[in-house]
Structure 1
Amino acid sequence: MESSSPPTPVAYIANDHRSAGPHQAELSSWEIRSDHVRPSHVSPVARVERLPSLDLIRGIALLGILMMNIPVFGYLDSGITAVTKDLGSHDYVAFVAVGTAFEGTMRALFSMLFGAGMILFASGKTNSIHGPTVVEYYYRRLLWLVLFGVFDAFVLLWRGDILFNYGLMGMLLYPFRRLRPIWLVCMGLVCMGITLYKTNSWTNQVRESRLGYVAATRLEKAHQKPSEKELEAKASWERFVARINPDPKADAKTLLALRGDYPTVFKQLMPEIVSSNVYFTYHGAWDMLGMMFIGMALLGWGFLTNQLTTQTYVSILLVGYGLGLPLSWFFVQYTVDFYQHPALTVETYRVSPQLLYDFRRVLLALGHASLLLLIYRSRVIPWLMKALIAVGQMAFTNYLLQSIICTFFFFGYGFGYYGKLAYYQLYYVVGAVWVFQLLVSPLWLHYFRFGPFEWVWRSLTYWKPQPMRV
């Protein structure tokens, strides 16, 4: 696992634009020993040492995440039911197209890159004789990320924040940094298996509540008394359906609150923000960890650092899209059926297609990354590649900036557009934010070493102001 003469991060950059053989791909970042005590300065990755391919994929993932987040920013949850029933409308086409091509894939890529990034942070650095060790810097960095997540959720009021949970999950990665890629994939598959088990248990509970509802209703129509278990199942199913179907009174109350001032919006969203953080901490952890482990393995194999052959990336692209897109289409159609006919769907599917979720998004994520790296190698649109790399280099700033822009645009203490746009019109906002970040990110990095939030994060991690201007 360890190498006696490990490469430095700069070595990756030298080969980042080339095709490498399988033996080169095995030179992984965790082969860089970080536990030898040497008089060396521990500092952030210098600009020249950055890996363009990682920043490129991170940039597209960061922009893509907004596509998935935008309905949560500005659209009523209950409105999705109406979208799926209006077949052929612009809203329906947008829902199906985005869901088929991107649902879950951008978050998967972001999680993979986060896992790879944690390895790179701990690599190429050595402990100094005086001062904190590499591992202390590692955990200090993640603790600050947790606090940034608290800021994103409880101050910026973004109810879909991932920084808090990424910080927590990242703390579990350090002991696994030197595992061989194949074992990291196995760890990822174990996490995915736990997610599958939990998903299957949930779908079985929903199915049982539906069957209990049917049995209780039949007995009541026959003027017989259902059992206590059947009555509980009936109540559970009714609550489940109520969460899917629009409630005009509740929707009107939500719209009024989210178009109000900051204290009103805060009060309205706080229960959901708290429950969301609790859910992702205790139930969504396996989702994040699985993708992080796979990302660590992909870094070790040279996939993320653009070290595989062009033929390999083409093969991964064809397999990822060839299997992932049909599975994704089937999954989205199941979702549409579920919103339209929840009872019939639950009764029809003995095994829920939701079990395919993680597999399809891994396939599509690999397909998206392969396509992007192939375009990068072809040098067809270098200006766009350069802009995406800049967005990825400022991913932390751009992520928080998306929260700032969208909450201000949609909530009442800003422009108050919450619930005023059609579903497909939300993606006009996405496009506008994309253009802004693609233009501003390279311009900012022309003058500064880091994005503003990256600078704050690094300065807090190393507990001293970092040089900012180029």
Structure 2
Amino acid sequence: MLAAETNVDDPGIDDPGIVDGRGAADPARPADLSERLPALDALRGLALLGVLAINLEGEFRVSIFRQFLPGPPEAGLDRWIDAVLLTFVDMKAFALFPLLFGVGLAIQVERGAGRPRRTVLLLRRLLVLLGFGLVHLVLIWNGDILTAYAVAGLAVLPLLFGPTWLMGAACAACLAVFALQSLLPPLLPPIVAFPDRAWLVRQVADADRVYATGGFFEILDFRIREIAGFLPLHAFVLPRTLGLFLLGALAWRAGLVRRAARFAAGLWGFAALAAGTGVVLTLATAARSYSGWPSLGRFEAVGASVGTILLALGYAAAILAAGTTRTGRRGLAWAEPVGRMAFTNYIVQSLVLGVVFYGYGLGLFGRLGLTAGLGIVLALYAVQVVGSRLWLRRFRHGPLEWLWRVLAYGRALPLRRA
């Protein structure tokens, strides 16, 4: 998930390059902390809260495949929490990270123009991220998104060296495929077939047993065997991931990020329009789900997909615009440290939730309601906000952000602040 701290050394997850005496980034040296983009750090920190809530609600608390089976609706306060998450958070938070990742990739490509060593470094960073993702996927949690981001980053990288019109065309094509793919199955065979109902029933029952009561190695074995079932889900969101990578890169090229103050009025206007339209589309889907009204079938899925993207873009534009004002910067400052350490915090969330829900820990899998789960989300996130601030007072980067840089550069780098 994780784009990065938005500086030049990481695809969305690190910092801008050190500038030499001629005003050019030195590709051989890692960056300092002088060129941060605080609004993006804050946006990443806020998105991390949404990701934590959705991961707990639908992937740690119960099997991710339960959502595809009929079941009794949530009741009481859980029902309201579910509705709010579905409307304002679900998939929207996940859509923000590809945007940020795309911005980071574009920064690095731009500053490394004409410097082959910088391009090699970027490739190494993506390959190291892939390694981190595979470890996370297998040993900790198979809902990992780092692996998908690394692969998607490698896929879009050639486009980032091309003309803007080509990036724009590819971006539009990817987002159109994502929005319209629910209409395509009658016309095209699926890339990866979705499991049938019998498989889903069996998988959910096995997950309820293994995750709640199994030891570490039993869960590890089950997690590895379950990975194949995730492929259709990854195939479904891949066009969105690619499209949002490119959209983030286009936003950087257009100057919307680095010169946000110049475009503040337009950003506010776009935020209102995109978020308003997105809320209407997602509310329509949620209302149908909770009211029992007749489904619009495949067109309902199109509306939900478009609404997800628009609402995420509205959030991003609003945070960028807010970051251009003194009041906005002060209001967002608390989220910056947790956003700067997004990679570390993401992995820590997986470790903590594994201990809470899996059998080798508290074994609460399948036993916790949404209200109690939200309490865990807020408590864990609050600890991360405070912990990130305290850590960054003494250190330049989060521990995993630092390790990522060390592995990419292939040499020791300073961690403590001077």
Per the normalisation by structure 2, the TM-score is 0.83
1:451 is aligned to 2:366? no
Q: Alpha-carbon deviations, 1:92-125, whole Å to 9, x = none?
A: 2111111111221111110011111112223334
Which whole-Å CA distance do the structure 2 matches of 1:87 and 1:463 have between them?
50
Which whole-Å CA distance do the structure 2 matches of 1:160 and 1:444 have between them?
27
Gaps of 5+ in 1: 1-8, 11-28, 30-37, 207-235
User: Residue 426 and residue 243 in structure 1: after superposition, are their counterparts in 2 closer, same or farther (change >3 A)?
Assistant: farther
Q: CA deviation at 1:60?
A: 1.4
| SS in structure 1 of the partner of residue 34 of structure 2 | helix
Which whole-Å CA distance do the structure 1 matches of 2:25 and 2:107 have between them?
20
The structure 1 residue matched to 2:124, chosen from 135, 140, 143, is 140
The count of residues paired between Structure 1 and Structure 2 equals: 392
**1:294 equivalent in structure 2:** 247
Give the residue type in structure 1 aligned to 2:131.
L
**Partners of 1:83 and 1:423 within 8 A in 2:** no
**2:148 equivalent in structure 1:** 165
Which whole-Å CA distance do the structure 2 matches of 1:419 and 1:274 have between them?
22
**1:399 equivalent in structure 2:** 346
The structure 1 residue matched to 2:222, chosen from 261, 265, 268, is 268
1:195 is aligned to 2:183? no
Give the residue type in structure 2 aligned to 1:195.
F
Which whole-Å CA distance do the structure 2 matches of 1:125 and 1:189 have between them?
26
User: Residue 283 and residue 311 in structure 1: after superposition, are their counterparts in 2 closer, same or farther (change >3 A)?
Assistant: closer
Which whole-Å CA distance do the structure 2 matches of 1:196 and 1:385 have between them?
31
Which whole-Å CA distance do the structure 1 matches of 2:69 and 2:174 have between them?
34
The structure 2 residue matched to 1:149, chosen from 130, 133, 138, is 133
The structure 2 residue matched to 1:47, chosen from 22, 33, 38, is 33
The structure 1 residue matched to 2:323, chosen from 376, 395, 404, is 376
Q: CA deviation at 1:316?
A: 1.4
Which whole-Å CA distance do the structure 2 matches of 1:47 and 1:434 have between them?
24
Which whole-Å CA distance do the structure 2 matches of 1:88 and 1:407 have between them?
26
Q: CA deviation at 1:322?
A: 1.7
The structure 2 residue matched to 1:111, chosen from 95, 98, 115, is 98
Which whole-Å CA distance do the structure 1 matches of 2:176 and 2:228 have between them?
27
Q: CA deviation at 1:179?
A: 4.8
1:326 is aligned to 2:283? no
1:63 is aligned to 2:49? yes
Gaps of 5+ in 2: 1-6, 9-15, 17-23
Identical aligned pairs, as a percentage?
25
User: Residue 398 and residue 162 in structure 1: after superposition, are their counterparts in 2 closer, same or farther (change >3 A)?
Assistant: same
Give the greater-gyration-radius structure (CA): 1
Q: Alpha-carbon deviations, 1:310-340, whole Å to 9, x = none?
A: 3222201210222110001112334557xx7
Which whole-Å CA distance do the structure 2 matches of 1:354 and 1:283 have between them?
12
1:356 is aligned to 2:340? no
The structure 2 residue matched to 1:433, chosen from 373, 380, 391, is 380
**Partners of 1:192 and 1:358 within 8 A in 2:** no
Q: CA RMSD in A?
A: 3.3
Give the residue type in structure 1 aligned to 2:275.
Y
| SS in structure 1 of the partner of residue 256 of structure 2 | coil
**1:23 equivalent in structure 2:** none
